[in-house]
Amino acid sequence: MVADPVPLQAAAELFPNGISRYAVGGLFVGLGAAVIYVGTGISAGASTFLESTLSFVSGQSRFHQYAASRDWRLVFTLGIVLGAAVYAVIYQDGAWTTDVSWWRLLLGGVFVGIGTRVGKGCTSGHGVCGVGSASKTSIAGVLAFLVTAIVTAQVVAALGVTP
């Protein structure tokens, strides 16, 4: 038996599921944003949907500044749901549900909802479109959320909360 070269062994430990699913998926994510950008000039993100949709049910001025874009944001979000459903139909054995506890999802969602609005973007707005624009603001935003997310996840795991 010839052992794999050391760099390959190290890579296998860092990427237990390989990299193709991530790389191919990432290319599709970028392609979706690129299609919208080339056609419309809009750099799409997923989080403003939260505020623009709230303008349907709330009179707060904060939400109504996005009222003009709320219809296409609904379409974009519907597309995301349907696109993932297409993936599921082709590659997934029936519906998949998470084991992460409901309170982690709810509480994490509240922090995500506040943070993305204060911080002007999320993983798609800052992470994909902003970094793609080489925006220093977005790179700073990504570093900020990566660092606190890593610390939080490590602390939660160290406290023995699973899943």
Partner 1 sequence: MAASGDRHPLFVPLVLVGGLVFGFGLGYSHMARPEVVLNFLQFEDFGLLFVMFGGAAVTGVAFFVAPRLLDRAPLTGDRFERRLKSFDRNVLVGGGIFGVGWGLSGICPGAAYASLGIGNVTILWALAGMFLGAYLQGWWRSRATDGVDPAPTGAD
Distance CA 32, CA 34 (A): 5
Among 56, 91, 159, 160, binds partner 1 (CB under 8 A): 91
Q: Which is nearer to partner 1, 1 or 13 (CB)?
A: 13
Among 4, 9, 40, 56, binds partner 1 (CB under 8 A): 40
**Contact call for residue 148 and partner 1 (CB under 8 A):** yes
For residues 73 and 54, the answer to whether their CB atoms sit within 8 Å is no
Scanning the structure block, which residue is given the tokens 């890593």? 150
Distance CA 89, CA 77 (A): 18
**Contact call for residue 88 and partner 1 (CB under 8 A):** yes
- The closest alpha carbon to 117, from 58, 49, 61, 33, belongs to 49
Distance CA 123, CA 45 (A): 8
Among 4, 9, 12, 28, binds partner 1 (CB under 8 A): 28
Among 4, 9, 56, 143, binds partner 1 (CB under 8 A): 143
- The residues in 95-124 that bind partner 1, with binding defined as CB under 8 A, are 95-100, 102-124
Q: Which is nearer to partner 1, 1 or 163 (CB)?
A: 163
Burial class (CB in 10 A: 0-12, 13-18, 19+), 155: exposed
CB 6 to partner 1: min, Å: 17
CB 18 to partner 1: min, Å: 7
